[in-house]
């Protein structure tokens, strides 16, 4: 199972909780990489912790701004040597995506840029309310093409769209949030799938948050291993 990449969502500003999540999801049977989002990065101790972190991690900032501002944001992260993945919103457009990928390559040759498409908390109805005329799958495919054209490394979309993206783009990294272990609550997610189903849909990696971090983390990690077996 080491070929299956799992990202654990460290969604808390509590440093002790972060350390506990990282420690208790460690497994020789799975490749588990921590994903740090806005909550931890903006917290009092978050930035300093990541400066000193010694293992690969994903910084999920979902950067979305005019190219100049987005580039400045990426440049300010160059001291985070172990940051292996960074997220940007595809909504920022082709020029922003291209600029960020170019800058990322300069500051850290191992840094992979992932384009975030439609958040897994949204569905077709939500898109219509925003003003989109395309449904989720149509829009994700359109955005995947933009990511590919920009030279970025991968796409963040739900596992429900992963198969159609993979058919069009064989070499893109496809990372899927909205993952729940069987029987777990969907909470605020609309487009969810189990880990096993997601990997059957040809994803490169999955993001798991509450299914791992809520309750007994070690037991939840064992449940994940058993489920994938």
Catalytic site positions = 62
**8 A C-beta contact, residue 115 and residue 156:** yes
Which structure tokens are listed for 99?
A: 């600029």
Cα distance between residue 215 and residue 7, in whole Å = 18
Q: Which residues pair with 104 in a beta bridge?
A: none
SS3 call for 160:
helix
Contact between residue 220 and residue 211 where contact means Cβ atoms under 8 Å apart: yes
DSSP state at residue 13: S
Q: CA dist 53 to 81, 82, 185, Å?
A: 9, 7, 32
CA distances (Å), 109 to each of 6, 32, 75, 105, 125, in order? 22, 22, 13, 5, 40
Angle in degrees, CA 22, 36, 111, rounded to 5: 105
The enclosing H or E element of 102 equals helix 94-107
Pairwise CA distance, residues 1 & 30, whole Å: 6
């Amino acid at each position: 199972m080491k070929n299956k990449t799992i990202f654990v969502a460290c969604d808390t500003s509590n440093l002790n909780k972060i350390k506990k999540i990282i420690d208790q999801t460690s497994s020789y049977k799975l490749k588990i990489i921590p994903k740090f989002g806005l909550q931890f990065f903006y917290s009092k101790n978050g930035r300093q912790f990541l400066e000193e972190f010694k293992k690969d991690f994903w910084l999920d900032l979902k950067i979305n701004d005019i190219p100049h501002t987005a580039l400045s944001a990426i440049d300010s992260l160059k001291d985070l040597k172990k940051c292996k993945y960074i997220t940007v919103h595809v909504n920022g457009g082709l020029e922003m995506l291209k600029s960020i990928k170019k800058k990322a390559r300069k500051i850290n040759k191992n840094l992979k840029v992932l384009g975030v498409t439609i958040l897994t908390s949204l569905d077709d109805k939500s898109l219509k309310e925003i003003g989109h005329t395309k449904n989720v799958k149509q829009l994700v495919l359109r955005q995947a093409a933009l990511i590919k054209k920009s030279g970025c490394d991968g796409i963040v979309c739900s596992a429900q769209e992963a198969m159609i993206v993979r058919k069009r783009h064989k070499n893109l990294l496809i990372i899927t949030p909205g993952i729940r272990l069987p029987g777990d609550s969907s909470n605020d997610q609309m487009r969810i799938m189990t880990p096993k189903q997601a990997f059957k849909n040809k994803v490169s990696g999955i993001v798991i948050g509450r299914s791992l971090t809520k309750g007994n983390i070690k037991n939840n990690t064992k449940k994940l291993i058993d489920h994938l077996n």
